[in-house]
Structure 1
Amino acid sequence: MDLLSILFIVLGAIAAYLIGSFPTAVWLGEGYYGIDVRHYGSGNAGATNTFRVLGKKAGTIVMLLDITKGFTAAQLASILALMGWVNADFLTFYKLIFGILAIVGHIFPIYTNFKGGKGVATLLGMALAIEPEVALVCIGIFFVVLLASRYVSLGSMIAALAFPLLLLLPRFSPDTPLLIIFGFALFAVVVLTHQKNIRRLIHGEENKTYLLRNRRNRDH
């Protein structure tokens, strides 16, 4: 690997982190609603809290943008491979690295004093860039759990665990076994960022989310 390739890989890594750092929930809330979502609800700067504080439209926009962050960051590796700066045999590895940096950026964004969201939507974007079929199955699992339990946190954790477990099946077996290890590692990160949610789930105090009901009809 020559110095020019190393330089572009480093620049790609920095770009991936900066892309992940975009605080979409904060910027959308302050820019269009005059509300900092970090001061309401769970205080989290992510899509779930945006749904609770600003409603379905704003929450959906933030979720899609956060997914796009992870997808875009991971696809930076494809651009580098196309330009010949990354060996195509290691493309999945670099997608993982750039995707993980985007997740780190989302959790610890440089633009908002390193206080961000939990990274689930950004993780999903990375998964879509690397294993789209498995990621789509995980999305289905997430919504099934959410509709059955009304808990976004529970759906997020189960879907995150489903990703590496599905990769163990012959149907989805990846070309790079390292992807399975990274999958379990990222599940561990999701659990760590949901520690408060886990405690609330255990004590029956976790907030519920109703996708199919209007705000005025929700239980209090």
Structure 2
Amino acid sequence: MKTIILIIIAYLLGSIPSGLWIGKTFYKKDIRQFGSGNSGTTNTFRILGVKAGFAVFLADLLKGTLATSLAYLPSVDTNPLWFGLAAIVGHVFPVFAKFKGGKAVATSAGMLLGYNPLFFFCSLALFLILLFITSMVSLSSMIAAVIITLSTFILPSILPVLLPEQDWLLSCIAVIVTAFIFYLHRQNIQRIRQGTESRISFGLNKQEKKK
């Protein structure tokens, strides 16, 4: 019963619509009505600016971390990843925002931070390198998700300092989350193919500022 209650709490933590609430409270905007119509980090950066974008990113990241950390409460004997997965589901399908949420990236990263901080920081470095190369958050997120998923299978045998042993639950959840990420980015994939995907003003292929 305790596990079920904590999973519900993890889902509710994930359901907190950071972008929506920050947009409405401080900018008087519902960001779902602008840009991609998404309430996640990238659309917040695009519509509300850098400060709001970072605030939403940190909030969405910490949702996953806090939810995952519920497993470390006294007398809880449940794998932290189950709570992290519940938070991810909450982020994508938030009960507080009519089940229309973000694209799972930041909260998934938060789960990884709560579960294996060293692996998280290596994954973050990978994402930043990809972002510098592509200047596209969506493409960097998808490529990073694939590489991180493959790493959960490979690293235990070649670099155990990051993943000391094969964790099949981590690998399975990574596969599920990666599939989620690709599905939720399906419109981005179409724009990437058409060469019309939005780019940020950072990296090798950055978007030039209009004069």
User: Same fold judged by TM-score > 0.5?
Assistant: yes
In the TM superposition, what are the counterparts of 1:2-81 in structure 2 within 5 Å? 7-79=1-73
Distance of 1:148 and 1:183 partners within structure 2: 24
Residue aligning to 2:89: 104
Superposition deviation, residue 203 in structure 1: 0.9
Distance of 2:96 and 2:173 partners within structure 1: 27
Judge conservation of contact 2:201–2:208 (CA < 8 Å) in 1.
no
Q: Partner amino acid for 2:2?
A: F
How many residues in Structure 1 have an aligned counterpart in Structure 2? 202
Judge conservation of contact 2:91–2:104 (CA < 8 Å) in 1.
yes
Judge conservation of contact 2:85–2:173 (CA < 8 Å) in 1.
no
Q: Partner amino acid for 2:93?
A: F
Residue aligning to 1:4: none
Residue aligning to 2:119: 134
1:110-164 CA-to-partner distances (Å, cap 9, x unmatched) read 0111001101000000011112222211111111111221110011111112222
Residue aligning to 1:186: 177
Residue aligning to 2:102: 117
Q: Partner amino acid for 1:202?
A: R
Q: Partner amino acid for 2:148?
A: F
**Which of 185, 197, 203 in structure 1 is aligned with 2:194?**
203
Superposition deviation, residue 106 in structure 1: 0.6
1:174-213 CA-to-partner distances (Å, cap 9, x unmatched) read 432331222122111111111111111111111111248x
Residue aligning to 1:3: none
More deviation in 30-39 or 169-178?
A: 169-178
Q: Partner amino acid for 1:173?
A: L
Residue aligning to 1:173: 163
In structure 1, stretches of 5+ residues that fail to align are 1-6
More deviation in 105-114 or 141-150?
A: 141-150
Q: Partner amino acid for 2:168?
A: P
Q: Partner amino acid for 2:96?
A: Y
Q: Partner amino acid for 1:204?
A: G
Q: Partner amino acid for 1:161?
A: V
Distance of 1:138 and 1:161 partners within structure 2: 11
Judge conservation of contact 2:104–2:177 (CA < 8 Å) in 1.
no
Residue aligning to 2:209: 218
More deviation in 29-38 or 184-193?
A: 184-193
Judge conservation of contact 1:134–1:163 (CA < 8 Å) in 2.
no
In structure 2, stretches of 5+ residues that fail to align are none
Judge conservation of contact 2:19–2:39 (CA < 8 Å) in 1.
yes
Percent sequence identity over matched residues? Answer: 39
Distance of 1:217 and 1:181 partners within structure 2: 40
Alignment TM-score, normalising by the size of structure 1: 0.86
State the SS of the aligned residue for 2:4: helix
State the SS of the aligned residue for 1:19: helix
1:33-77 CA-to-partner distances (Å, cap 9, x unmatched) read 111111111111001000000100000000000000000001101
